[in-house]
Amino acid sequence: MIEAPALSDRQFDRLARIVRQDSGIVLTKAKRSLLAARLNRRLRSLNLRDYGAYCQRLEGADGIEERRHLLSAVTTNVTAFFREAHHFDALATEILPPLVDAARAGERIRLWSAACASGEEAYSIAMTLLDLFPDAARHDLRILATDIDPTMVARAEAGRYAAQALHPLGAKRLLRFFQRDGEQYTANSDLRAIIRFAELNLHDDWPFSGQFNVIFCRNAVIYFDAPARRRLWYRFARQIRNGGALFIGHSERLDGPAAGLFDPTGTTRFRRNGTLPPNRPEGE
């Protein structure tokens, strides 16, 4: 067996600098072994002798595509259907009913799963919506689901899951929204009709100008440094409509310039208030 190359402190620092620059994710020294384990296979596939050569590839003229693979290796995609169930209870009972009425009246309604991983969150939002509004696809109501990892976006768009992953749905939702596909289940056309999946780095420019009624960004910001985190909260505040809902992760806190632009409405959920964003650069 070929011995895996060692990842030196200097090489780790180079990789961590690239990751932080591209994504805002902070890699501490404690993550060095994990990073090496995840990248060893990548080095073999590229036929690179060591991490020095890999760093040179990342920093070279053709390194943009490889940086996407690096970010895929460092992102942690822990998710589940209806994770943090209290968020979906609030969505069903408090937030969606007036939005459904607005959609029926012809208004444009948009929801965003901003770190969708392999799609469980986005499909959970869609099922919650379709339980209330079965003909949602016939109205101007859509869910955008994005993630920085192109591999995860492809998995989410495929919509195929093992039976064990679908246990939180219960028998009724499983029968309604998924079709048996060999040993797995595939999301049906009702779900697919109202979700659009796309690759998106939250720290890049966003390719949309319209505002959202609901934004989910849960358990992603914990990996960012403080300036990146606060800048992102501020950008969400500018991208969400007054009265719109923001859901964040159970270990996350809303801070920085955006804190005064939201009112808490429950555990890790907020409502955008009417306060105007401060006239300052984002995140400062």
| Run of H or E residues at 14 | helix 9-23
d(CA 169, CA 176): 10
d(CA 12, CA 87): 37
User: How many CB atoms lie under 10 A from the CB of residue 8?
Assistant: 13
Q: What are the binding residues for S-adenosyl-L-methionine?
A: 77, 79, 83, 121, 147, 201-202, 218-219
Name the one residue in this structure whose structure tokens are 């499983």: 174
- Set 22, 32, 110, 147: catalytic member: 147
For residue 269, list its beta bridge partners. Answer: 247, 266
The three-point CA angle 149-16-64 to 5° equals 50
Give me 254's structure tokens.
Answer: 């809303």
Q: What are the binding residues?
A: 77, 79, 83, 121, 147, 201-202, 218-219
User: How many CB atoms lie under 10 A from the CB of residue 177?
Assistant: 21
d(CA 144, CA 112): 5
d(CA 197, CA 188): 15
Nearest to 107 by CA among 115, 116, 98: 98
d(CA 283, CA 114): 18
Q: Does residue 147 carry a catalytic annotation?
A: yes
- Set 20, 38, 42, 241: catalytic member: 38
The residues that are catalytic are 38, 147
